[in-house]
Amino acid sequence: MKFAHMADLHLGGWRDLELEKLNLTVFEKALDRCVADKADFIVISGDFFDTSMPPFDVLDFVSKKLNDVKKASIPVYTISGSHDFSPSGKTILKVLENAELIINVARGEEENGKLKLHYTVDKKTGVKLAGVFGRKGALEEEYFKQLDRSIEKEPGYKIFLFHSGIAEFRPDYLKDVPAMPLSLLPKGFDYYAGGHIHHRSEQEYDKGKVIFPGPIFPCNFQELERFGHGGFYMVEGGKAKFIPLKEREVETIKVGAENKTAKQVEAELEEKVASLNGKGSIVLIKVSGTLREGKPTDINFRGLMDEATRRGASVVRRGTSSLSSQEYEEVKISTDTVEGLEARIIKEHLGKSGMEREKELVEQLMRALDTEKLEGETADTFKERILREADELIAGLSS
C-alpha cells in the first residue's frame, strides 16, 4: 500500500500572480508525482484552497488536474480546513465532492451528546479513513471533546485526518498559535494526517505516526524566507518519506537599519542587489531596525525591486514590517498566522480594562463573532443576531 499526504495547499492565496502560478505548478507536479509513483490514494488534510470560494481560474486548473488523477484511478480523500471551511456549507469543496473529484472523510453524526464518526473505506486497499474538519479560531476542538471513542476499537489499518495544532508538537516560534492537547486525538490509528501548522514534523502517538507535512509551497513572505520550498509525504510499507517540491531558488537580501540613515540602507541594498546571480530565483528583500535619519519611504524599494528583476529574478518581494524610524515608529507585530496575531494582540492588551474574567470574555466574544450569515438571513437580521448573542454572552459572564 502506498499513499500521499499533503496539507495546506492554500491554492488561490497569493496575490502576486507569479507566486500563485508557482503554487499551482507545484500542485500539478505533486499530483503528477503521485500518478507516476502509482500511489493508491491521496490524502489532503485541510486548506486545499485559501478560501471557501477560490477564483475561477484556480478552480478551473485544479479541477482538470483532479480529473487526471481520477482517470488514473487514484482517489483523493480530504477534509476542509480553517480557510476553506464554511459554516453555511457553501464551499467549492462540496462542488468538487459532488463531481466525484474528491471524497470528504469528515463524516459523522451526533448520538446521545457524542460525535460518532463514520469510516470511509478505500476500495482498493481496504484502508479506513475518518477525520474532523478544521474551523477558524480552533473551534473544532469542541468536536474532539465530544468524540465517541468507540471509533478507536475499529480493526484494520486506519488513517485519521485533522486540521488542528497540537500543543505538544508546536515549534517554539508558533507557541502563540492556538492548539489542542495531544490527548484529544483518538487512539488506535496507524497514521494521523495533520494539517494547519505550517511546519513539517514527524511525531509518534499511541501506535501511530503524527505527521504535519507543512505546505506544498510557502504561503507568505516568512515561509519563503524560513523554508524556501515545501513538499508532501509518500507513505509506503509504514515508512513515511518527505518529497521536496523545489520549483525556484530563494535568495534573501537582509540589511539592518539600526542607527543608519535611509540613504545608507539604500546604498547597502543596491550593493547586494548588484551581486545577485540567481536566474529565475525568488528574491526577498528584508530590512529591519530603526533608522537614525529618514523614513522607510525614503528608501527606493521600487527601484531596487526593478533592478533585481532586470538581473533575472522571477519574483521580488520586500519585507519591512520590522523597519521603523525615529521620526515615526510603526506598530511591529511579528507573527506567521492570523491566529498568532490575534493571540499576541490579546496578550499585549489584557488588564487594561479593569474587567473581571477579561481574557475569558475576549476569547468567547471572538468565537461568538466568528460566524457568517445564515441562509436567507438579511444583513440587518444578521447584525441583530450577533449583537444579541454578544449581549447574552456578556450577561452570562457577569452573573
pLDDT per position as a tens digit, 39-60: 999 999 999 999 999 999 999 9
318 and 380 belong to one structural domain: no
277 and 239 belong to one structural domain: no
* Three-class DSSP category at 316: strand
Q: Which of 193, 217, 245 is the last residue of a domain?
A: 245
pTM reported for the whole predicted model: 0.80
Q: Which of 245, 279, 305 is the last residue of a domain?
A: 245
Write out 280-293 in H/E/C secondary structure.
CCEEEEEEEEEECE
Closest by alpha carbon to 223, among 340, 82, 331, 302? 340
**345's grid cell:** 494582540
Checking if the pLDDT of 138 tops 70, the result is yes
Q: How far is CA 228 from CA 26, 188, 246, 327, in A?
A: 13, 35, 8, 34
373 inside domain? yes
Handedness of CA 214, 215, 216, 219 (dihedral sign): negative
Q: What are phi and psi of 199, to 5 degrees?
A: -150, 120
116 and 151 belong to one structural domain: yes
192 inside domain? yes
CATH number assigned to the domain comprising residue 75: 3.60.21.10
156 and 77 belong to one structural domain: yes
Q: What is the mean pLDDT of residues 175-194?
A: 95
pLDDT tens digits along 201-260: 999 999 999 999 999 999 999 999 999 999 999 999 989 999 999 999 999 999 999 999
Q: What is the mean pLDDT of residues 272-299?
A: 92
User: Which residue range(s) make up the domain with 381?
Assistant: 354-398
110 inside domain? yes
Q: What is the mean pLDDT of residues 265-284?
A: 92
339 inside domain? no
Number of domains in the chain: 3
pLDDT of residue 176: 84
**199's grid cell:** 511546519
**149's grid cell:** 471513542
173 and 25 belong to one structural domain: yes
Between CA 51 and CA 68 the distance in angstroms is 23
Q: What are phi and psi of 285, to 5 degrees?
A: -105, 115
Around Cβ 246, how many Cβ atoms within 10 Å?
12
Q: What is the mean pLDDT of the chain?
A: 89
Q: Which of 211, 245, 279 is the last residue of a domain?
A: 245
57 and 34 belong to one structural domain: yes
pLDDT of residue 119: 97
Q: What are phi and psi of 117, to 5 degrees?
A: -80, 150
What share of the chain has pLDDT > 70, as a percent? 86
